[in-house]
């Protein structure tokens, strides 16, 4: 079943008619109306309202992370989170804030080089998972002689190029079509901060202030701080700056926003208090 | 074998560079602790301590058993600490890691061997019956400074605990339920606390930190734990390996530890008083209690 969080919050209970008869009558279920605005939240195993699933004349329906196809024609969420529909792409997915990072093709991640093998680096993306492989030659204009030598423990910003369920993921630091690095590669100096997966997604949105409601970085930059950041989809946030205090400040601002779930006004207030501390 | 990601070179360099400039990653001062929270459960003998993201829950329980044959006049007191896979997948059940062994040894030395609990008061019938007090330490999440948090939680839980009242008439031992007689607190002699210092730098002189996070704990070059009560009576000092520390620094640490210990004593006293007040509905507790003032 779908939970309409907004309607729960506003205390508008769905009408009794809309509560469907299910096989599990002990659980209170609310079916969200197809027209409901506001975010829709699902629990694992919930039934998804057919009216929410997009239909496209040509494109096949794409299931993103957090959803499973149960043959013949059921779609079941496997995680709790926000149900997101992308009508243009004819795709649906479930967004979660917490949980372990599962690599998916095309995502940008920050990994730590664990050790170097004969052909590739073994890169750790998250705790307690097997390492990802980063071939020695998948850097911009890398040949056997000119490839970058990464020490154990070095950080790399890379794209996931291969992610199969039963295989170690593979990474690349070069675009296979253009041969350019597009900003990927080793990250020198700076500091790494752990953030939640939801926060890293919000930070990586193209309009993070508008869609993700993250304004700390913009606020810090407009306060005159100069820094460079990189966000990995695996819940890593890298900051570099000339000034050590700035690095620490930016990292703390982002982690605090993440942990305390601050809204836009609270984020602005946090930045003001941090800037005051700096001067 | 699941393994935790080790800190990257960038993190190592940043932490040491920041410490040289007098900064910690989370913006605290060197001797500043994370906010400490101490909560008691509804039941007696349940305490939860939180140091930032480190969270420890302790539950104390009592039962009547036979005393050890070589100590017929003493009760049994044990502290069971276990790090479950809930903390991190690297901890396995029934396979104690070094952290776990060190933690249980530290609690043992600090609380049990220092005689914080008067075990002779637990004796019911010499050589035949005694109370067995057991404190179970559950680590719920780990973000450094586990020893201090666990020690504070154990002391708080033991001081909060009430064992059933009992009486002996002739040969008959009666243990009363809480409905019959109000449970009595343990005979508590002093409250020792662990205070851990972490040293950074090749010579251990770059920085001396209190209440380290897990990242700092992975990068420190040496550490030292003082266990002492508010009177400055030291139960144990342990410095297991690491770089050597200058004696003046060490003495200074001991003084800071004493101040911290007083702070923790005050915290536990205050929280216990608050808890007792919230339980004392209608102000009848003074009449109900069977406890004699020492």
Nearest to B137 by CA among B193, B219, B38, B58: B58
Tell me, what's the pLDDT at B287? 72
Taking the Cβ of residue B6 and every Cβ of chain A, the question of whether any pair is shorter than 8 Å is answered with yes
Is A155 within 8 Å of B6 when comparing Cβ atoms?
no
CB-nearest partner of A247 from B3, B14, B89: B14
Q: Work out the minimum CA distance from B9 to partner chain A, whole angstroms.
A: 5
Per-residue pLDDT averaged across B159-187, rounded?
A: 91
Q: In this predicted model, what pLDDT tens digit does every residue of B14-71 receive, in sequence order? A: 999 999 999 999 889 999 999 999 999 999 999 999 999 999 999 999 999 999 999 9
Judge whether B139 and B84 are in contact, CB under 8 Å. Answer: yes
Taking the Cβ of residue A185 and every Cβ of chain B, the question of whether any pair is shorter than 8 Å is answered with no
The mean predicted confidence, pLDDT, of chain B is 91
Tell me, what's the pLDDT at A18? 34
Q: How far apart are CA B153 and CA A136, in angstroms?
A: 50
Q: Alpha carbon of A191 to those of A160, A221, A265, B173: distances in Å?
A: 22, 18, 27, 65
Is A190 within 8 Å of B4 when comparing Cβ atoms?
no
Is A244 within 8 Å of B4 when comparing Cβ atoms?
no
Residue A153: closest C-alpha in chain B: B8
Tell me, what's the pLDDT at B294? 55
Tell me, what's the pLDDT at A30? 40
Positive or negative: CA dihedral B1, B4, B8, B13: negative
Confidence category of residue B90, pLDDT binned at 50, 70, 90: confident
Confidence category of residue B290, pLDDT binned at 50, 70, 90: low
Q: How far apart are CA B289 and CA B159, in angstroms?
A: 16
Q: How far apart are CA B41 and CA B156, in angstroms?
A: 11
Taking the Cβ of residue B89 and every Cβ of chain A, the question of whether any pair is shorter than 8 Å is answered with yes
Tell me, what's the pLDDT at B292? 62
CATH fourth-level superfamily of A192-278: K Homology domain, type 1 (3.30.1370.10)
Q: In this predicted model, what pLDDT tens digit does every residue of B198-243 receive, in sequence order? A: 999 888 888 999 999 999 999 999 999 999 999 999 999 999 988 9
Residue A131: closest C-alpha in chain B: B5
CB-nearest partner of A191 from B6, B14, B21: B14
Q: Work out the minimum CA distance from B88 to partner chain A, whole angstroms.
A: 9
CB-nearest partner of A155 from B6, B10, B18: B10
Q: Which fold has domain A16-95?
A: OB fold (Dihydrolipoamide Acetyltransferase, E2P) (2.40.50)
Residue B135 pLDDT greater than 80, yes or no: yes
Question: A interface mutation test: which of B5, B6, B21, B144 has the most A CBs within 10 A?
Answer: B5
Tell me, what's the pLDDT at B87? 86
**Low pLDDT (below 70) residues in chain A:** 1-37
Question: B interface mutation test: which of A113, A128, A193, A196 has the most B CBs within 10 A?
Answer: A128
Nearest to A197 by CA among A156, A157, A233, A251: A233
Q: How far apart are CA B151 and CA B148, in angstroms?
A: 5
Decide if domain A108-188 falls under CATH 2.40.50.140: yes
Domains A16-95 and A108-188 belong to one CATH topology? yes
* Domains recognised in chain B with CATH numbers: 28-277 (3.30.230.70)
Q: Which residues of A touch B89 (CB under 8 A)?
A: 127-128
ipTM: 0.85
Is B23 within 8 Å of A191 when comparing Cβ atoms?
no
Nearest to B5 by CA among B88, B83, B87, B92: B88
Per-residue pLDDT averaged across B84-105, rounded?
A: 87
Q: Where are the domains of chain A?
A: 16-95, 108-188, 192-278
Tell me, what's the pLDDT at A34? 43
Tell me, what's the pLDDT at B120? 93
């Amino acid at each position: 079943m779908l939970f309409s969080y907004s309607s729960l919050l506003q205390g508008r209970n769905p009408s009794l008619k809309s509560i469907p008869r299910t096989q599990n009558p002990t659980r209170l279920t609310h079916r969200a109306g197809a027209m409901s605005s506001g975010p829709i939240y699902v629990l694992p195993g919930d039934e998804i309202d057919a009216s929410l699933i997009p239909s496209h004349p040509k494109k096949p329906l794409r299931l993103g992370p957090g959803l499973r196809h149960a043959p013949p024609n059921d779609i079941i969420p496997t995680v709790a989170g926000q149900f997101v529909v992308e009508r243009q792409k004819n795709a649906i997915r479930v967004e979660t804030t917490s949980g372990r990072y599962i690599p998916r093709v095309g995502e940008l991640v920050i990994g730590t080089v664990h050790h170097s093998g004969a052909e590739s680096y073994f890169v750790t993306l998250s705790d307690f998972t097997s390492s990802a492989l980063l071939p020695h030659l998948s850097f911009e204009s890398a040949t056997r002689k000119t490839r970058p030598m990464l020490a154990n423990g070095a950080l790399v910003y890379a794209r996931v190029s291969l992610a199969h369920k039963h295989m170690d993921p593979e990474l690349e630091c070069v675009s296979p079509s253009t041969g350019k690095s597009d900003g990927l590669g080793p990250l020198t100096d700076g500091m790494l901060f752990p953030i939640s997966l939801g926060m890293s997604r919000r930070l990586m949105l193209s309009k993070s202030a508008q869609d993700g409601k993250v304004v700390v970085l913009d606020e810090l930059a407009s306060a005159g701080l100069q820094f460079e950041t990189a966000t990995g989809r695996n819940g890593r946030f890298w900051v570099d700056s000339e000034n050590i205090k700035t690095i620490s400040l930016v990292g703390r601002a982002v982690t605090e926003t993440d942990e305390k779930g601050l809204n836009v006004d609270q984020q602005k207030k946090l930045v003001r208090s941090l800037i005051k501390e700096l001067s | 074998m699941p393994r935790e990601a080790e800190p990257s070179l960038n993190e190592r360099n940043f932490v040491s560079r920041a410490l040289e400039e007098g900064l910690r990653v989370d913006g605290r001062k060197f001797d500043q602790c994370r906010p400490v929270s101490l909560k008691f459960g509804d039941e007696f003998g349940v305490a939860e301590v939180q140091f930032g993201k480190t969270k420890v829950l302790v539950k104390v329980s009592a039962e009547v058993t036979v005393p050890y044959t070589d100590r017929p006049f003493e009760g049994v007191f044990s502290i069971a600490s276990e790090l479950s896979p809930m903390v991190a997948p690297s901890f396995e059940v029934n396979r104690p890691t070094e952290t776990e062994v060190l933690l249980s040894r530290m609690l043992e030395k600090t609380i049990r061997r220092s005689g914080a609990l008067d075990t002779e008061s637990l004796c019911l019938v010499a050589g035949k019956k005694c109370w067995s007090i057991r404190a179970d330490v559950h680590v719920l999440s780990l973000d450094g400074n586990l020893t201090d948090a666990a020690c504070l939680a154990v002391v708080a839980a033991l001081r909060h605990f009430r064992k059933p009242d009992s009486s002996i008439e002739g040969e008959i031992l009666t243990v009363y339920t809480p409905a019959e007689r109000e449970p009595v607190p343990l005979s508590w002699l002093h409250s020792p606390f662990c205070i851990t210092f972490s040293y950074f730098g090749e010579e251990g002189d770059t920085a001396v930190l209190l209440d380290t996070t897990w990242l700092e704990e992975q990068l420190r070059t040496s550490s030292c734990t003082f266990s002492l009560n508010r009177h400055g009576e030291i139960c144990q000092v342990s410095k297991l390996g690491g770089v050597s520390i200058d004696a003046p620094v060490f003495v200074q640490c001991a003084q800071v530890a004493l101040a911290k210990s007083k702070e923790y004593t005050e915290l536990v006293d205050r929280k216990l008083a608050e808890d007792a007040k919230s339980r004392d509905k209608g102000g009848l507790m003074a009449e109900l209690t069977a406890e004699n003032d020492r």
